């Protein structure tokens, strides 16, 4: 058995035009999967597809705003039309339009965070889990965050959504394990992506993070992609309902 082989598998990855999602898409393609690259902007997705195909991989681009149910349905339909099936779902896309205390967040911002970061993941799972169950095989990975494991004075609503994602995978793992479907989450620490730029591009915040990180560096998108490959491949075939923390040691170190 090739533990990290995805040959013959089809993977749908949301938020995969850049950052962590793109790194996952490219690594999955290298491992042999046919990949559906998705984000809100089609041209950005097509650039990732071109890069994958240039290295001999197979991929298609599908624009999708995960906050819109009809677009999630269209994403799954387009994936099936292109490749005939879906074996792996990676829910990576997320939003965080608000920084500040929870008591001051608007209802609109709070609802947007919960809808995009939790409900859309459930929508997508509802669309693909029955198909996976018919084949008695499938893997779902939700990209959460270590923010969901602790409190935050600035991104509390985002943290709530990411904690809920961890419970979502636990519940779905229990409900669908009988069909040999594995559902897991990844909780990254601070990773150098555009999404987290406000945190790592701030010299003071960056220094605090590095001081609290035993490995003394920030994460790179490829660090998270490696974990996502493990959870999707045969190497992770007995892992389900768990949250894999990939943070350079921040959560176990406290203050250094």
**What domains can be seen in the chain, in order of their start residue?**
10-244 (3.40.50.720)
Helix (H) or strand (E) holding 159: helix 156-176
**DSSP-derived secondary structure for 72-99:** HHHHHHHHHHHHS---EEEE--------
Give the integer Cα–Cα distance in Å for 230 and 236.
5
What average pLDDT does range 46-56 have in this prediction?
98
| pLDDT confidence band for 73 (50 / 70 / 90) | very high
Q: How far apart are CA 114 and CA 92, in angstroms?
A: 14
> Does residue 194 or residue 90 have the better pLDDT?
90
pLDDT of residue 203: 80
Tell me how many degrees the CA angle 156-40-129 measures, rounded to the nearest 5.
Answer: 80
Looking at residue 199, its pLDDT comes to 67
Is residue 255 very low, low, confident or very high in pLDDT (cuts 50, 70, 90)?
A: low
Catalytic annotation, pick one of 28, 98, 99, 158: 158
pLDDT recorded at residue 1: 82
Chain segment 169-217, per-residue pLDDT in tens: 999 999 999 999 999 999 999 998 877 676 666 787 888 888 889 999 9
Percentage of residues in the chain with pLDDT exceeding 90?
89
Take residue 6 and report the two structure tokens written for it: 């995805």
pLDDT 10s digits, 13-28: 999 999 999 999 999 9
pLDDT for residue 256 is more than 50: no
Tens digits of residue pLDDT in 135-182: 999 999 999 999 999 999 989 999 999 999 999 999 999 999 999 999
List the one residue out of 111, 16, 21, 12 whose CA is nearest residue 67: 111
Which tokens is 135 given?
């084949």
**In the prediction, which pLDDT does 254 show?**
63
Virtual torsion, Cα 197, 203, 206, 207, nearest 10 deg:
180
**Residue with structure tokens 């919960």?**
114
Helix (H, G, I), strand (E, B) or coil at 138: strand
Closest CA to 121 of 146, 158, 92, 99: 92
Cβ-in-10-Å burial (0-12, 13-18, 19+) of 178 comes to exposed
Annotated catalytic, 158? yes
Return the axis-axis angle of helices 156-176 and 107-114, rounded to nearest 10°: 30
In this structure, the strands spanning 138-143 and 243-246 are unpaired
């Amino acid at each position: 058995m090739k533990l990290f082989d995805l040959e013959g598998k089809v993977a749908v990855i949301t938020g995969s035009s850049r950052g962590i999602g793109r790194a996952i898409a490219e690594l999955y393609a290298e491992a042999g999967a046919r990949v559906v690259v998705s984000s809100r902007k089609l041209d950005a997705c097509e650039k990732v597809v071109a890069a994958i195909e240039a290295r001999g991989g197979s991929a298609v681009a599908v624009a999708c705003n995960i906050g819109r149910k009809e677009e999630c349905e269209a994403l799954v339909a387009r994936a099936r039309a292109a490749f005939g099936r879906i074996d792996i779902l990676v829910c990576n896309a997320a939003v965080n339009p608000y920084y500040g205390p929870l008591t001051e967040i608007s209802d609109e911002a709070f609802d947007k965070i919960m809808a995009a970061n939790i409900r859309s993941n459930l929508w997508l799972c509802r669309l693909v889990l029955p198909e996976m169950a018919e084949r008695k095989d499938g893997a779902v990975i939700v990209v959460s965050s270590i923010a969901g494991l602790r409190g935050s004075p600035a991104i509390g609503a985002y943290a709530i959504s990411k904690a809920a994602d961890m419970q979502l995978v636990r519940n779905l793992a229990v409900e669908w394990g009988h069909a040999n479907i594995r559902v897991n989450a990844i909780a990254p620490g601070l990773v150098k992506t555009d999404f987290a730029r406000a945190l790592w591009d701030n010299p003071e915040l960056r220094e605090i993070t590095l001081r609290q990180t035993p490995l003394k560096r920030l994460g790179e998108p490829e660090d998270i992609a490696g974990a996502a490959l493990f959870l999707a491949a045969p190497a992770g075939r007995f892992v389900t309902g768990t949250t894999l923390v990939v943070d350079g040691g921040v959560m176990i170190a406290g203050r250094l």
